[in-house]
Amino acid sequence: MKRRLSLRSQLSLVLGGLALAILAGVGGYLGTLATNELFTAQQAVVRATAQSAAELLASQLRDREREIELLSLAPHLVHGALDSVQVRDSLDHRAALHDEFAWLGVAAPDGTVLQSTGGMLLGRSVAQREWFIAARERVYVGDVHEAKLLATLLPAQPSGEPTRFIDFAAPVRDAEGRLRGVVGAHAHWRWITGLVEGVTRRQS
């Protein structure tokens, strides 16, 4: 015949089971609470990172746009020969200051490249390029795109991916406002991705 548990033992078992149930419930609740808080914190970090990256990119794009606009107003472009050595030196100087620029050049109103960094595309026509067409009328900042004319003149990407650029361009006008040509620049897309990666590292 089985021995019945004493009242004290029964109470101990009941209270012990109740305590375990309470602990399990509290533990589950705290785990859920911690997960939700962690998720909320991660969302805040992602939002802050995205906002910081967007603000930095906007600032950098405006700076490069302004750089090309100011170049188009330089006296040696407004008054001088667009195929001169002085123009070439000016382009090379800016390329040295901003290594994100893969190419800078000046084209005649018909699209013929008159001067450029490294002599790349010299004498070639860019008349069908979107940046040239748009910049005959206004300062232009383009969307990211793959290289076309420059693809065979630049080193291949280490990753094997196509070379991509963002274009900046502006009209060059004489003192009477007549179009003399277009100055354009191709900035490496990896410059943009590098800025975003830098923000991400700082935020993390």
Q: 43 or 141: which carries more pLDDT confidence?
A: 141
Mean pLDDT to the nearest integer, 38-44? 68
Radius of gyration of the chain (CA): 32
Each residue's pLDDT tens digit, 64-82: 999 999 999 999 999 999 9
CA distances, 190 to each of 89, 153, 186 (Å): 25, 17, 12
Distance CA 103, CA 7 (A): 90
CA distances, 145 to each of 12, 26, 164, 193 (Å): 74, 55, 5, 14
Selection from 81, 147, 100, 158 nearest residue 120 by Cα: 147
pLDDT of the residue at 147: 74
Selection from 97, 189, 96 nearest residue 150 by Cα: 189
Each residue's pLDDT tens digit, 174-191: 999 999 999 999 998 888
H-assigned helices in 73-169: 75-78, 85-97, 130-135
Coil/strand/helix, residue 146:
strand
Distance CA 113, CA 124 (A): 6
pLDDT for 1 beyond 50: no
User: Residue 110 corresponds to which tokens in the numbers above?
Assistant: 């018909």
